[in-house]
Amino acid sequence: MNTEIWTNCRAATLQPEWGEPYGLVDDAALVVQGEALAWVGPHAALPQAYVDQCTQRHDAGGALVTPGLIDCHTHLVYGGDRAHEFELRLQGASYEDIARAGGGIASTVKATREASARQLHTQSLPRLKALAGEGVTTVEIKSGYGLALAHERKTLEVARGLANGLPVDVRTTFLGAHAVPPEFAGRTDDYLQEVLQMLPALHALGLVDAVDAFCERIAFSTAQTQRIFEAAQSLGLPVKLHAEQLSDSGGAQLAARFGALSCDHLEWLSADGAAAMARAGSVAVLLPGAFYFLRETRLPPIAVLREHGVPMAVSTDCNPGSSPCTSLLLMLNMACTLFRLTPEEALAGVTRHAAQALGLKDRGMLAAGLRADFVLWDLNHPAQLSYAIGANPRLQTVHKGQAV
């Protein structure tokens, strides 16, 4: 097996065990064997055995190294765009007004259904490339703009194929319960039956890593969401939830009862909801892009989440309606400026805690035994990743041990 040694770098390992902010190791060395990290620590402590076995040395040129970034909540496979609704909202219409009038998610469903798999791939690829270009090495992609078996399948297959040739892994989440499609208007429970049939079919095709739902007054109730979670549970699939985005529906408590990997959005999360998430070990996925783009004024209860020790992740929510955003680095800045996260919390939110939100134990930190997914940045200090607006200081990505 190859043994590659990276030196001359400062490593933000995100390992709490180092006892330093960001798990910082100055003058670090990283040893890669195969697709994994075999050793990470101060260069001065690098065991001689690795030096003896070394097949390739890499000089990082003094770069800052972080784990590969993880975007744990996106809807980036979709057809069309919603620039017209953006104009309507600027004239005073609200996101909910537009959804109730048959626009919103439904308009993207129409465009997504009309697109062939090839067209969907072509339209979505630049979004994944943009994320990868900023050092993202794992991306979660949800379905939810097909809302019929063939189109949900098409979306998930396109999502799975999108990473081919890119230094990025895609995880797919089934979000059949995103909205009620027009052919089921006024018949939400009938559509729910459809969702309950789609799920095992898509799972049998190996296309589902997790199950999500939009629990909201304009979407699915907690009782309806519960049915979906029960179905996921019976298939052994983990769940997550779009919860308390526009109102407090008690979705977080429900999700916690199912041991949800994460609850996402959470602007209206109550203290009870936060406590339930803490008990269940669910991650709070914060989506500052959607907060910004919808001009929300109610902040997610960051202090309450901290108090309960709920891990916080940060993601783009890349989607055409509430967050047409393909920059996870911009989300780091927004998480700090809008939500008052510290830059250290924000970076943990796109690495360690984002991995947790996807149930992935093999990444999110620089540590022996974990995947060798890491990024070299033209920076001195990890706070600079959150500080800059619109910069891309990425020098190089290493994905599964391979320098790109």
Task: Work out how close the CB of 142 gets to ligand NIG at its nearest, in angstroms, rounded to a whole number.
Answer: 8
Q: Select the residue whose beta carbon is closest to Fe ion and give its number.
A: 317
Report 317-336 residues binding ligand NIG (CB under 6 A). Answer: 317, 319-322
Say how far apart CA 105 and CA 319 lie, in whole Å: 10
Cβ within 8 Å of residue 147, ≥6 positions away: 109, 176, 178, 179, 180, 181, 191
Task: Work out how close the CB of 264 gets to ligand NIG at its nearest, in angstroms, rounded to a whole number.
Answer: 7
Report 43-102 residues binding ligand NIG (CB under 6 A). Answer: 75
The reply on whether position 317 binds Fe ion by CB under 5 A is yes
Cβ within 8 Å of residue 375, ≥6 positions away: 65, 66, 67, 68, 69, 135, 137, 394, 395, 396, 397, 398
Task: Work out how close the CB of 390 gets to ligand NIG at its nearest, in angstroms, rounded to a whole number.
Answer: 23
The reply on whether position 104 binds ligand NIG by CB under 6 A is yes
The reply on whether position 242 binds ligand NIG by CB under 6 A is yes
Q: Which residue from 313, 266, 328, 320 is spatially nearest to 293, judged by alpha carbons?
A: 320
| Binding segment toward Fe ion, per CB under 5 A, in 8-16, 35-43, 309-317, 352-360 | 309-317
Count CB atoms within 10 A of the CB of residue 383: 19
Task: Work out how close the CB of 313 gets to Fe ion at its nearest, in angstroms, rounded to a whole number.
Answer: 13
Contacting ligand NIG (CB under 6 A), which of 245, 326, 333, 356? 245
Report 49-108 residues binding Fe ion (CB under 5 A). Answer: none
| Binding segment toward ligand NIG, per CB under 6 A, in 26-34, 124-132, 300-308, 316-324 | 316-324
Report 337-376 residues binding Fe ion (CB under 5 A). Answer: none
The reply on whether position 315 binds ligand NIG by CB under 6 A is no
Contact 318, 75 (CB under 8 A): yes
Task: Work out how close the CB of 111 gets to Fe ion at its nearest, in angstroms, rounded to a whole number.
Answer: 17
Say how far apart CA 314 and CA 320 lie, in whole Å: 18
57 CA to centre of own chain? 32
Task: Work out how close the CB of 177 gets to Fe ion at its nearest, in angstroms, rounded to a whole number.
Answer: 12
CA 84, 81, 239, 129: dihedral to nearest 10 degrees? -140
Token pair 């919390």: residue: 345
Task: Work out how close the CB of 209 gets to ligand NIG at its nearest, in angstroms, rounded to a whole number.
Answer: 18
Q: Which does 260 bind (CB under 5 to 8 A by kind): ligand NIG, Fe ion, none?
A: none
Cβ within 8 Å of residue 379, ≥6 positions away: 63, 64, 385, 393
Q: Which does 320 bind (CB under 5 to 8 A by kind): Fe ion, ligand NIG, none?
A: ligand NIG
Q: Which does 293 bind (CB under 5 to 8 A by kind): ligand NIG, Fe ion, none?
A: none
| Binding segment toward ligand NIG, per CB under 6 A, in 104-112, 160-168, 187-195, 356-364 | 104-112
- Contacts of the segment 150-156: beta carbons below 8 A, 24+ positions apart: 151/109, 151/112, 151/113, 152/176, 152/198, 152/202, 153/201, 153/202, 153/205, 153/207, 154/117, 154/120, 155/77, 155/78, 155/112, 155/120, 156/202, 156/207, 156/208
Contacting ligand NIG (CB under 6 A), which of 74, 108, 315, 356? 108
The reply on whether position 214 binds ligand NIG by CB under 6 A is yes
Contact 375, 392 (CB under 8 A): no
Which residues here bind Fe ion, judged by CB under 5 A? 317
Which residues here bind ligand NIG, judged by CB under 6 A? 75, 104-105, 108, 214, 242, 245, 290, 317, 319-322
